[in-house]
Structures are given as C-alpha cells and as structure tokens.
C-alpha cells in the first residue's frame, strides 16, 4: 500500500507512456482523478491511488481504458493537451473481479476470472460499447464445475488457465479430493481445450498463492511478457517479469536495480527488451533475460509435476511450514497486502448494503442473502456468517447482534445498528 509520501508524488506528477509512438503521450494522473471524482463514485471502492496503473489497458497511443479493480465501471481516457475522461459503462454495482485478468483482443475489452464478496467468478466477460454493459462470453466445452481461476495469461490468440473445481471438501477436508485443471481458451472459436488435471488436498486449497500470484499494483502486458510491480510500505516497488512461454514469474538483479515508477518515470516491455525512463527523461534498456536470476517460480513445471505424481504428505507439510515462517518473516509483503486490501473492499461493499438496513432486525436468511452466502451448504453458511459478522463488528461502523425471535424463542434474528 502506498504511504503518504509516495501518494503525494504520484498525484503531483504525471505519467508518460512510450509504448506506441516516438512522441510519448502524457498521462496526468491528477487531472484524470479529478475528472473521475466528478462522477460521484465511491473513492474507497475505486481505490485509484493503489490500483490505477494495474487497471489500465491501451487501445493505442492516445486512448486508454480504465476499469477500477473489483468494479464493473469502465472509463475511456483520451490523452493529449485536452485530456478527457468519459465514463462509458452503465454499471453501478461491483463485481467479483478482484485480481482479474484485463485485456483487449481484436478491439474488444475482456475481464477474466476474479473474486470478491467471499465469492469467485470463473468466467469471461466482455464490454459491449453499444449498450455500455458487460456480458458473459460463452465458452464451448468450458468445465461446468469450475469454481475459481487461480492463474491465467494471454499469449497470442489463447488464454492459458489453471482452474479450481467444485468438490466435496466438507466430507474430509484433508483428503486429496480437490480437483485442479490446466488448459487453454481459444479466443478465435471461444473454446476450452483441456491439457491435464491433478488433485490437491486442503493445504493446497488453503495456500493457493503457491498455484497463482497477485498481479500487482502496476501492470504492463506485452505479447510475450508481462511486468508486475508491487507497492511496498517503505516507499519502494518490487518488480517481477512473467514469461508467458515458460509460465515463469522471475525476479532478477536488473529488475531489483530499477527505481520505483513515481509518475514521471515508467517501465514497459517491447519484444524482449525492458525500457525504463527516469523522471529526467533518460532511457535505460536491457534484455529481459539479462542479469542474474534471484528467484523464479515456474508455474507450468509445477502444474505438470503435480499431474504426474502426488507429493508425499510429509513433504507438503514441510513446505507449508516454510511458507508460514517466510510469511511471518517477510511481514506485510505484497501477498498479505493484497489479501488485506481484498478483505477491506469486501467489508466496505457489505457495509454499504447494511446501511440501508439500520436500525433494524432481520432474519438470518435475509442476512445471508446480503452477505452473498445463501447458496452454500448449511455448515459453510454458519462458518462464513460468523466470520463476516466478526470482521464487520471489528473493522466497520456496522454492529450486528444476535437476538431472540420475538414470536419463536427457539430461533434467532440479527439486529443491525
């Protein structure tokens, strides 16, 4: 999350992009934010300061689209001396699309996967300019039991994707009965082609970060690579490059040497070359494979290894223990920041829903509908209801109290204040 210093730099400066022409256009973030605020949208839900540069895609050198993370709002931003921001979507609600994959294919804007409100969305949606609305795109042969998109990337005319499927974990949570599958979506025929599948246990479900990754606060997507920047609390940014051919997320010495993007500077990839322009206009470039590799997470190799053989339980336990130790040692890393941001967004959305219900006493069925958990099994609903209520009472201005039903003392209602 940005600290106050970094935020002030970001909003008092401008961002220059040089991906399409020799005369780089200027992206004035302060003016863009001011025009967006004129639409009267919830600033907390849009979270412009932290996620603007991870929520933009380029149509060309003079036009970009901005889809705030976790929402269905869409803005068209025309760059130049007379910068103009237009809200082209009619959507007024948020979506289950935190950490979704946003891309353009043949001049159509798509959003794939994502999560929110304690739910996940495993489908593909596209924006219809003629109606100003988002629609779900039907994919032939797409697994009917898909529950969540854990990892995805576009290369050429296809999307490589790792899916988690619905299973019966409540029978025995530690059984190896959670199904994962890896395949591709053909964007010409919109058809799903499976490659292989494997099963995992409860630990793998709990620590899904080992099967995918948070896309970051800064994203630049090219044909063969994508750049990901993670804002840190010490006023810095950690960069990673994702190789779409090998399916590897790489940290190297060249990336570590780059300074943070502060509004005047920027980073992008063209072919296999990374370009960095500092705030003075000096350009540095280097090959994406130069420097020494500090760490590489090879997702394709990981998935294929799981499809061939199951890892011994003791080895999985050791890996989980190491992950916990590393997580505690690292503190508020970008993964924990992403999780905190996601929970905060979800609580804000639920809090807005409940404001219209206070002061009032409602049934548990009505409360479950407002929480978006009514479709789960009985035991899952109880667990999630308790979890959400505890977080709301602790972190928001909404207070929920369980009270006896006046007409039937055997049952409980919920008082919202």
Q: Which of 319, 314, 401 is nearest to 360 (CA)?
A: 401
Average pLDDT over residues 252-280: 82
Asked if pLDDT for residue 397 goes beyond 70, the answer is yes
**Cα end-to-end span (Å), the chain:** 31
Which range scores top for mean pLDDT: 229-243, 257-271, 394-408?
229-243
Predicted pLDDT at 97: 76
pLDDT at residue 74, as a whole number? 95
Per the prediction, the chain carries an average pLDDT of 80
Can you tell me the distance from the alpha carbon of 263 to that of 336, in angstroms, rounded to the nearest whole number?
Answer: 25
Confidence of residue 227 (pLDDT cuts 50, 70, 90): very high
- What is the DSSP code string of 196-233? EEEEE-HHHHHTGGGT-----SEEEE-SSEEEEEEE-T
Sorted by where each begins, the domain ranges of the chain are 4-300, 334-416
Give dist(CA 56, CA 67) in Å, integer. 6
Give pLDDT, residue 237. Answer: 86
For the residues 380-407, what does the mean pLDDT come to?
Answer: 81
Closest CA to 49 of 396, 397, 351, 341: 341
- Name the nearest CA neighbour of 147 among 179, 195, 172: 179
Q: What is the DSSP string of 11-55?
A: HTS-EEE-SS-SSPEEE-HHHHHHHHHTT---HHHH-HHHHGGGS
> How far is C-alpha 193 from the chain's CA centre?
24
CA distance 333 to 389: 26
Rounded CA gap, 112 and 15, in Å?
27
Query: In the prediction, which pLDDT does 343 show?
Result: 58
pLDDT in tens, 269-319: 888 999 887 777 788 899 998 889 999 999 999 898 887 644 455 566 677
**Contact call for residues 96 and 111 (beta carbons, < 8 A):** no
Query: What is the average pLDDT across 169-182?
Result: 66
Give me the phi and psi of 54, to 5 degrees please. -105, 0
Lowest mean pLDDT among 48-57, 199-208, 233-242: 199-208
> What's residue 286's pLDDT?
92
Which of 48-62, 157-171, 319-333 reaches the highest mean pLDDT? 48-62
pLDDT at residue 225, rounded to an integer? 95
What is the spatial distance between Cα 251 and Cα 240, in angstroms, rounded to a whole number?
5
The set of residues, in sequence order, having a beta carbon less than 8 Å from that of 311 and lying 6+ positions away, is none
Q: What is the pLDDT of residue 173?
A: 46
Q: What are phi and psi of 64, to 5 degrees?
A: -130, 160
The predicted pLDDT at position 23 comes to 35
Residue 185: how many CA atoms within 13 Å on its side-chain side?
24
Q: For the whole model, what pTM was predicted?
A: 0.68
- Residue pLDDT, tens place only, 68-96: 988 899 999 998 889 999 999 987 666 66
**What is the pLDDT, as a whole number, of residue 17?**
45
* pLDDT score recorded for residue 93: 66
Q: Report whether pLDDT(184) > 70.
A: yes
Flag whether pLDDT at 351 surpasses 70.
Answer: yes
Q: What is the pLDDT of residue 264?
A: 65
């Amino acid at each position: 999350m940005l600290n106050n210093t970094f935020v002030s730099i970001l909003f008092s400066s401008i961002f220059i992009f040089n991906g399409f022409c020799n005369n780089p256009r200027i992206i004035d973030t302060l003016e863009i934010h001011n025009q967006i605020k004129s639409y009267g949208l919830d600033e907390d839900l849009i979270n412009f300061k932290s996620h603007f540069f991870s929520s933009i895609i380029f149509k060309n050198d003079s036009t970009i689209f901005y889809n705030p993370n976790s929402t269905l709002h869409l803005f068209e931003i025309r760059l130049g001396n007379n910068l103009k921001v237009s809200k082209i979507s009619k959507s007024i609600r948020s979506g289950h699309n935190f950490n979704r994959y946003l891309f353009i294919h043949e001049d159509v804007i798509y959003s794939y996967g994502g999560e929110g409100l304690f739910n996940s969305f495993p489908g593909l949606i596209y924006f219809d300019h003629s109606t100003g609305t988002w629609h779900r795109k039907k994919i032939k042969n797409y697994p009917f039991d898909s529950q969540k998109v854990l990892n995805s990337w576009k290369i050429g005319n296809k999307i490589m994707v790792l899916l988690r499927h619905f299973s019966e974990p409540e029978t025995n949570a530690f059984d190896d009965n959670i199904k994962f599958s890896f395949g591709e979506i053909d964007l010409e025929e919109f058809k799903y082609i499976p490659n292989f599948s494997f099963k995992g246990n409860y630990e793998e479900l709990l620590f899904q970060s080992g099967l995918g990754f948070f896309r970051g606060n800064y994203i630049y997507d090219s044909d063969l690579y994508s750049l990901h920047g993670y804002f840190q609390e010490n006023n810095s940014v950690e960069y990673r490059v994702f190789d779409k051919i090998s399916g590897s997320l790489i940290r190297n010495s060249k990336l570590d040497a780059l300074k943070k993007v502060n509004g005047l500077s920027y980073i992008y990839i063209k072919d296999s070359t990374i370009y960095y322009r500092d705030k003075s206009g000096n350009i540095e470039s280097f090959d994406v494979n130069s420097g020494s590799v500090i760490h590489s997470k090879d997702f394709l190799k990981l998935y294929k290894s799981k499809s061939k053989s199951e890892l011994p339980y003791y080895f999985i336990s050791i890996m989980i223990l190491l992950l916990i130790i590393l997580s505690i040692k690292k503190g508020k890393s970008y993964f924990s920041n992403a999780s905190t941001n996601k929970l905060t967004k979800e609580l804000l959305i639920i809090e807005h829903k409940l404001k219209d219900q206070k002061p009032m006493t409602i049934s548990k069925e009505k409360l479950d509908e407002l929480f978006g958990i009514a479709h789960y099994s009985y035991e899952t609903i109880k667990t999630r209801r308790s979890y959400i209520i505890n977080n709301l009472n602790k972190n928001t201005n909404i207070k929920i109290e369980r009270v006896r039903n006046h007409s039937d003392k055997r049952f409980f209602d919920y008082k919202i204040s």
